[in-house]
Amino acid sequence: MPDFATVEYDTLIPNNVGLSSDKRVQKALEKWHPGYINWWNDLIPQRFQTSMVYLRTAVGVDPQGWAKFDYVKMPEYRWGVLLAPAVEDRRVPCGEHAGEKAWQEVPGEYRSMLRRLIVIQGDTEPASVEQQRYLGMTAPSLYDMRNLFQVNVEEGRHLWAMVYLLHKYFGADGRDEADDLLRRSSGSQEAPRMLGAFNEATPDWLSFFMFTYFTDRDGKMQLESLAQSGFDPLSRTCRFMLTEEAHHMFVGETGVGRTIQCTCEAMKAAGIEDPFDINAVRALGVIDLPTIQKKLNLHYTLSLDLFGQEISTNAANAFNAGIKGRYQEIKIEDDHKLAGATYPVVQLVDGKIVTTEAPALAAINMRLRDDYTRDAAGGIGRWNAIIAKTGIKYEMKLPHPGFHRQIGVFAGVRTTPDGTIISTADFERRRDEWLPNKADGDFIASLMKPETTPGKYAGWIAPPRVGIDNKPGDFEYVKLHEA
């Protein structure tokens, strides 16, 4: 029995799963390794591959000392397989097996369901790195560039985490799936990534911040519910991934916040009070608040689509099987089986949006989406506090869940951001008021000028309040390779 507290760090693949005593899996992963390194090398522009980046590397799973900060070249980053410590006598937390001992091996009857969930989760990890591959060239500071690369290498590690599970528990099928994770590619015509939002480009830094705030938060909710899985290795993998994921939320929330702060401060300095005087604000070289709201509308609604159908048999089956729990399942006080329970679900009835009670088991996705919306709303409050502090009269809002949707009950209708149903023609006519158009994108793109002097920030974004790892303001987070 491997001792999970100790990490094998001197091996090709750092791990705390006793890989050196599991020759079959070790061999399989070592075979997969070169393909991964090739994928990484082909992806990230060469100049950054040879630069020294001040990165956090997971080196353990003890909360007191799980990570180390140091300069590394990204291709030399130690991508490892790390599982959170086992919880003694852990039980299946939900569904028909609730209370039974958690599974250490894949239960035969749930094999394909589990594999599918792991593959979908695994597919999103490299996808986001692909989407963000060119952002390094327009980083507004070395601090932001470092944060981008930190997010990237950790998404890479999360891919490793899922690939380990596939190799370890799913035999030949698992190996094929692991290979496919490197074959599919974001935005590709022939082999796109599995989920829509992960095939959209991330064209600029505001998109990146919105993506890490909204889309990575979907990832967080999915990881949270997989962390509740009765399949213990999956639970432990996801629990550890969440430790890293928190930084990604941080990058998004503070990135948008700093953009807003810079805009408000520039407006104050120039004596502009009307946030809707877009041309005047843009002339200051900052992003006007209504355009930031439009970006928010876009990314929030794309992320809502990731939660799938409000009423879903697949989700009900996964919950009932004990494969996937609800957000913070073990903290919820109910029977964890949802026999006879109901949950309020929005429905379209006769062209109107109404809330009806649906069987809670079928409404698992809806519930997770509601938890997500609550979680996402917190940051909006913070952003509004930044605006209010400067005295500008403007508030950011989350749009109605019916706005701009492609999946679920709202896919069939068009609504305004406050949820009023309108005709498709009206929606198209007013679309530019609510969602970023090409001109907005062009304007934002025009601001994306790299700033590579330590301690300096591009004109459209404020410096952070605290440095990474308590570093001082002018710390050189990336030592750029000058070729």
The residues that touch other proteins, with contacts defined as CB under 8 A, are: 7, 9, 59-60, 63-68, 70-71, 220, 242-243, 245-247, 249-250, 253-254, 374-375, 377-379, 381-382, 385, 465-466, 469-472, 474
At its nearest, how many Å lie between other proteins and the CB of residue 300? 17
- For other proteins, which is the closer residue by CB, 150 or 365? 150
What are the E-state strand segments in 401-466? Answer: 414-415, 421-422
Q: What share of the chain is helix, strand, coil (3-state, %, to 5)?
A: 55, 10, 35
Min separation Cβ 453 and other proteins, Å: 15
**Residue nearer to other proteins on the CB measure, 243 or 347:** 243
Distance, CA of 401 to chain centre: 19
Residue 18 is given by DSSP the state: -
Is the Cβ–Cβ distance between 346 and 411 less than 8 Å? no
Calculate the CA dihedral of residues 14, 15, 21, 26 and round it to 10 degrees: -70
Tokens representing 116 are: 């599918």
Tokens standing for residue 159: 């891919």
- The nearest distance, CB 327 to other proteins, in angstroms, is 11
Smallest gap from Cβ 384 to other proteins, in A, equals: 10
For residues 172 and 199, give the distance between their C-alpha atoms in angstroms, rounded to a whole number.
Answer: 28
Shorter beta-carbon distance to other proteins: residue 254 or 293: 254
Least CB distance to other proteins at residue 348 (A)? 28
* Of 450 and 463, CB closest to other proteins: 463
For the chain, what is the largest distance between any 2 Cα atoms, rounded to a whole number of angstroms?
A: 68
Which is closer to other proteins, CB of 450 or CB of 454?
A: 454
Residues 273 and 259: their CA atoms lie apart, in Å, by 17
Closest to other proteins by CB, 209 vs 427, is 209
Q: How many CB atoms are located within 10 Å of the residue 78 CB? A: 17
Helix (H, G, I), strand (E, B) or coil at 356: strand
Retrieve residue 78's tokens. Answer: 């130690």
Among residues 260, 266, 294, 290, the alpha carbon closest in space to that of 276 is found at 290
Which two tokens mark 235?
Answer: 């639970």
Q: Which is nearer to other proteins, 184 or 247 (CB)?
A: 247
Give Cα 403 to chain centroid, integer Å. Answer: 21
Residue 179: CB minimum distance to other proteins, A: 32
**Radius of gyration, alpha carbons of the chain:** 23
Return the SS3 of 22. coil
Q: How far apart (Å, rounded) are the C-alpha atoms in residues 168 and 22?
A: 9
Which of residues 238 and 413 has its CB atom nearest to other proteins in the complex? Answer: 238
Q: What's the min distance (Å) between Cβ of 63 and other proteins?
A: 5
Nearer to other proteins, 308 or 464 (CB): 464
Which CB, 335 or 474, lies closer to other proteins? 474
CB of 290 to other proteins, least distance (A): 24
> Measured from the CB of residue 261, what is the shortest distance to other proteins in angstroms?
11
Burial grade of 128 (CB within 10 A; 0-12, 13-18, 19 or more): buried
CB of 296 to other proteins, least distance (A): 16
Task: Give me 419's structure tokens.
Answer: 């949820």
Between residues 273 and 469, which has the closer beta carbon with respect to other proteins?
469
Tell me which residue has tokens 């990165």: 55
Residue 454: alpha-carbon gap to chain centroid:
28
Closer residue to other proteins, CB minimum distance, 308 or 379: 379
Q: What's the closest the beta carbon of residue 250 comes to other proteins, in angstroms?
A: 5
- Minimum Å gap between C-beta 443 and other proteins is 28
Q: Which of 42, 100, 40 is nearest to 337 (CA)?
A: 100
Cα dist. 366→308, 369, 395 in Å?
9, 5, 27
Q: Kindly tell me which of 351 and 472 has the beta carbon lying closer to other proteins.
A: 472
Q: What is the closest distance, in whole angstroms, from the C-beta atom of residue 333 to other proteins in the complex?
A: 15
One-letter amino acid at 264 equals C
Show the tokens assigned to 365: 């996705």
* DSSP annotation of 132: T
